[in-house]
Amino acid sequence: MMRANILKDVNKIGLEDRPIPVAGPGEAVIRVTLTTICGTDVHIMRGEFPVEHGQIIGHEPVGVIHDIGEGVSGYELGERVAVNAITPCGMCEYCLSAHWAQCGGFLGGWKMGNTIDGAQADYVKIPNAMANLARIPDELSDEDVLFTTDIFSTGLSGAESAEIKVGDIVVVYGQGPIGLSAVAGAKLKGASLIIGVDTVPQRMEMSKKMGADIVIDYKSEDPLKTVMDITGGRGADVAIEAIGLQESFENCVKSTCVGGTISSLGVYPTELHDIGVPNQDFGFGLADKKIVSTLCPGGKERMRRLMSLVKNERVNLRQLITHRFSLDDIEEAYKLFAAQEDGVIKVAILP
């Protein structure tokens, strides 16, 4: 048997004993050596994102291969691997159109801890193992690569989908883990000026470490006015939304210049039926502005690239870990992370 974190009810999670999974055809089982809690897990716990009660949650595993199913070749037991939250099949229409996250259709690439058992456990079963087991370079520790499994892939993809050009001015609304990763992504894409917006002191400080040049505290100044002042009234080339609120989405539209791009990463609450676009700042539909949305790209080739960035010190993701907990203390970890207490940015969970 193994320990596993179960979604029991609304606002109720906790460990239960479950059988260690067995790899079926095309699958693998990994023994989890490190994982984390995502903001999305908090939405799931609160009942804001629908996941079946009784399921193991979590979608960010680092570990070693424990079991290999029939038809899976090219891997050995005991190899260190990381697996992205998004586990594409690599064979369907959407995967073959490079929409890995939409494998099988609408948001379908996110399976682990959503539609199948997840990674906050001693072991996790990985579907389509040959498309998804990403070997970890020997030089890198588990902590070095932990955030390639979700937040860094997501944040970077926000910068990639916006097609940031060398020299662009980029503003990122929200400096939680995803927004911080988007700042790192904007820097990697060659932005000339990166502006972060938040109010939590530890997040504002981390924003500079991840690559922001200017960090605006939205509680002490109007971020929109400051962006306009900094850009001489022109606006930013790209605004990245990393919160999931109507207000910050609107600010993104208002912060962008003519021809600018609004890149949306936030998860908007399900009770928000429509997201409104401010008409005048959208040029009544004529300002050549683009709005793009992205779900975390996954699969082992994406993971190889992300780990290469870490290995060659283009980005430091380990510094986002502010707290460490054993799997036995996962309820305490959820409480701290959900309440954003004690300057927490990300927690590491050690099975």
Residues that bind Zn ion (CB under 5 A): 38, 40, 88-89, 92, 95, 103, 150
Rounded to 5 degrees, what are φ and ψ at 9? -165, 180
- Residue number of the CB closest to Zn ion reads 38
Nearer Cβ to Zn ion, position 40 or 248? 40
Spell out the residues 6+ positions from residue 319 whose beta carbon is closer than 8 angstroms to its own: 206, 209
What is the smallest separation between the CB atom of 278 and Zn ion, expressed in angstroms? 29
Nearer Cβ to Zn ion, position 27 or 150? 150
What is the smallest separation between the CB atom of 103 and Zn ion, expressed in angstroms? 3
The single-letter code of the amino acid at 16 is: E
Which whole-number Å values give the CA distances from 33 to 119, 209, 330, 348, in the listed order? Answer: 10, 27, 14, 10
- The rounded distance, in Å, linking the Cα atoms of 24 and 116 is 14
Nearer Cβ to Zn ion, position 182 or 257? 182
Nearer Cβ to Zn ion, position 103 or 238? 103
What is the smallest separation between the CB atom of 151 and Zn ion, expressed in angstroms? 7
CB 82 within 8 A of CB 303: yes
What is the smallest separation between the CB atom of 148 and Zn ion, expressed in angstroms? 12
| Helix or strand (DSSP H, E) at 15 | strand 12-18
What is the smallest separation between the CB atom of 339 and Zn ion, expressed in angstroms? 18
Q: Facing residues of 194 across strands?
A: 170
Specify burial of residue 89 (Cβ count, 10 A radius: 0-12, 13-18, 19+).
buried
Nearer Cβ to Zn ion, position 38 or 310? 38
Nearer Cβ to Zn ion, position 64 or 92? 92
Nearer Cβ to Zn ion, position 149 or 261? 149
Rounded to 5 degrees, what are φ and ψ at 170? -125, 135
What is the smallest separation between the CB atom of 256 and Zn ion, expressed in angstroms? 26
What is the smallest separation between the CB atom of 300 and Zn ion, expressed in angstroms? 14
Nearer Cβ to Zn ion, position 94 or 325? 94
The single-letter code of the amino acid at 156 is: L
- The rounded distance, in Å, linking the Cα atoms of 300 and 306 is 10
Give the chain's end-to-end CA distance (angstroms, integer).
14
| Helix or strand (DSSP H, E) at 17 | strand 12-18
- The rounded distance, in Å, linking the Cα atoms of 309 and 159 is 15
Q: Within the chain, how many helices (H) and strands (E) appear?
A: 11, 15
What is the smallest separation between the CB atom of 145 and Zn ion, expressed in angstroms? 15
